[in-house]
Structure 1
Amino acid sequence: MSLCEDCIKGVRHEGTPEGKWETINGIECYVATPSDAASQKDAVLLYLADIFGAQSPNAQLLADDFARNGIKTVMPDYLSNDPIPVEVWTDEEKRKTLDIQGWLSHHGATVTRGILDKAIAGLKDQGITKFAATGFCFGGRYVFDLAFDNIISVSIASHPSMLKSPEDLEKYFSTSRAPLLLNTCTIDEQFPQSAQSQADAIFGEGKFAPGYKREYFDGCTHGFAVRGDLSDPKVKAGKEGAFDASVKWLNEYGFGSASSGDK
């Protein structure tokens, strides 16, 4: 499996990240904590970043947004401080010379999953008993993997990459107990409309008892939910719509507070 051209494109979003870096069981993590003292203390949303990692300002801003909605969010640096640099968003030459296959060879599941598991173990030592996960692109693959093992109780994948369809969808259906939200779009080589339709056929119409929903954002391209060009009204609406749908999904299944905070 590989990535597509849209996996390495992006636009920097406005804002200053407000979370803090913490070391959890030896793993560096970006942590966004709700200011509401009444927020859940035993639940965490795992933010599983794309190839630009926990260092991406866009990812940090989204983690902060979840925290503003009463959801403590932890983004483990499962790329070991070796993300694809966000400079490729604005430097076409760097995109052309980027050895994405070489990078992927050093960040396969045999490496990254162990880092995630270590961070999760550290959070459990802190008293966390309930986990949800939201994954973008590369991170969507790990939402599925954690759900396969029923480590998480709620799943959100936005324009996931590196999934096999229908095999991974069928495995999720047969093994996971976590309700699944998919944020999808019009142009997506990694999770095209054929795969989206397969997901609906497998999970939809009440067939997946834990819960299933697929949101579709017309006119958007792979990556829209975290690094799309917000000067495009359709992309802006898609990014905000995917976030709102994610918060609603988390609230529905016991994470955060529907009345705390806003975007």
Structure 2
Amino acid sequence: MSLCEDCIKGVRHEGTSEGKWETISGVESYIGTPSDEYNKSNLKVLLFLSDAFGPRLSNAQLLVDDFARNGIKTVAPDLFEKDGVPADLFESDEKRKAFDIASWLARHSFTVTRLLLDKVIAGLKDQGVTEFAAVGYCYGGRLVFDLAIENIITVSIGSHPSALKAPDDLEKYFSLSCAPLLLNTCVDEQFPQSAQSQADTIFGGGKFAPGYKREYFDGCTHGFAVRGDMSNPKIKAGKEGAFGATVEWLYRYGFGPSGQKV
């Protein structure tokens, strides 16, 4: 895997985190739990699989909190074990240029993070969770595809996913997965227009029976759904649109407050 410039750029979002950190099978995880009206018998969880900054970034925590406000219990495991890409890279081009991306990726290969993710999933199952959806941003998008291909999750969302091989991974998903797939896309070096078009050809037109939809957010670039500049109206609309599309997708396939498909 390689990271593009947009993978380590962004803007901090304002807000106060409301979730809690818990340790699940030895992995610290940020958890957003819906309020009292949440149906406690709804034993479904959304796995929030972050970009390279990890769930220690306040932007990610605010998104987890927003999913919880919409009645979706959400768990964001820290798969980088407090070693996510530092948010001070937002501050200057010099810091981004000085950051050793290759060393960071060597420490946090998908093999390493997948082992941690599997521990969290097993721990949640021990707590009684019966079904998982996953939303992945950038780095996390690759993990969503892997979980879906193995049919560990029943609903998938990839927002500006990274490290996917098109059409190979798309065709593999089509052949093996039963999870309906939503892609939130933009102008993106990691998942370019050619790959987006291939996804539409492979999944679209009703060909993928579980369900497929691709949203495209004009004026947005890789990272917009987590780290976009909210002072830019198009990026703000894109970030909010991707979140809304994700919630709607989750509700459609049974991950809303009632736990019923709508």
Q: Please give the TM-score of this superposition, normalised by the length of structure 1.
A: 0.96
Give the aligned partner of residue 117 of structure 2.
116
Name the CA distance, whole Å, in 2 between partners of 1:20 and 1:107: 24
Over the aligned positions, Cα root-mean-square deviation in angstroms equals 1.0
Residue 198 of structure 2 aligns to which amino acid in structure 1? Q
Name the aligned partner's letter for residue 145 of structure 1. Answer: D
Note the alpha carbon deviations across 1:75-113, whole angstroms, 9 max, x for none.
Answer: 001111110011101132210111111110111122110
Aligned to 1:102: 103
1:128-147 maps to which residues of 2 (within 5 A)?
128-147=129-148
Give CA deviations for 1:54-82 in whole Å, capped at 9, x if unaligned: 10100000000000000000000111111
1:16 aligned onto 2:19: no
Instruction: Please say if residues 135 and 143 of structure 1, whose CA atoms lie closer than 8 Å, have aligned partners that are also in contact.
Output: yes
- SS of the residue 1:12 aligns to: coil
Q: Could you tell me which amino acid in structure 2 is paired with residue 156 of structure 1?
A: I
Cα displacement (A) at 1:37? 3.2
The residue identity in structure 2 corresponding to 1:72 is: K
Q: Is residue 2:251 matched to residue 1:242?
A: no
What pairs with 1:194-233 in structure 2 (closer than 5 Å)?
Answer: 194-233=194-233
Aligned residue in 2 for 1:5: 5
Distance in 1 between residues matched to 2:74 and 2:139, nearest whole Å: 18
Give secondary structure in 2 for the equivalent of 1:182.
strand
Aligned to 2:75: 74
Question: Unaligned stretches of 5+ in structure 2?
Answer: none
Contact 1:10 1:223 in 2 (8 A): yes
* Aligned residue number for residue 261 of structure 1: none
**Could you say which residue in structure 1 is the equivalent of 2:48?**
47
1:85 aligns with 2:90: no
Moved more, 219-228 or 91-100: 91-100
Q: Secondary structure at the match of 2:249?
A: helix
Measure the CA separation in 2 of the matches of 1:236 and 1:257.
26
Q: In structure 2, what is the Cα distance between the partners aligned to 1:37 and 1:236?
A: 29
**Partner SS state of residue 178, structure 2:** coil
Contact preservation (8 Å) 1:32, 1:64: yes
Segment of structure 1 superposing worse, 151-160 or 78-87: 78-87
Q: Is the 2:16–2:62 Cα contact (8 Å) retained in structure 1?
A: yes
Q: Name stretches of at least 5 consecutive residues in structure 1 with no aligned partner.
A: 259-263
Match of 2:252 in 1: 252
Q: Pick which of 140-149 and 90-99 moved more.
A: 90-99
C-alpha deviations, 1:10-38, integer Å up to 9, x for none?
00111011000001111100000000333
* Divergent runs of 4+, >3 A: none
Q: Please name the residue that 1:160 is paired with.
A: 161
C-alpha distance in 2, partners of 1:149/1:78?
A: 19
Checking the alignment, whether the CA contact within 8 Å between 1:39 and 1:256 is kept in structure 2 is: no
AA at the equivalent of 1:117: D
Q: Kindly indicate whether the alpha-carbon contact (under 8 Å) linking 1:160 and 1:190 is maintained by their aligned counterparts in 2.
A: yes
| Alignment partner, residue 38 of structure 2 | 38
d(CA) in 2 for partners of 1:52 and 1:218? 24
Amino acid at match of 2:48: Y
Q: Give the conservation status (yes or no) of the 8 Å contact 2:38–2:257.
A: no
Stretch deviating more after TM superposition (153-162 or 101-110): 101-110
2:202 is aligned with what amino acid? Answer: I
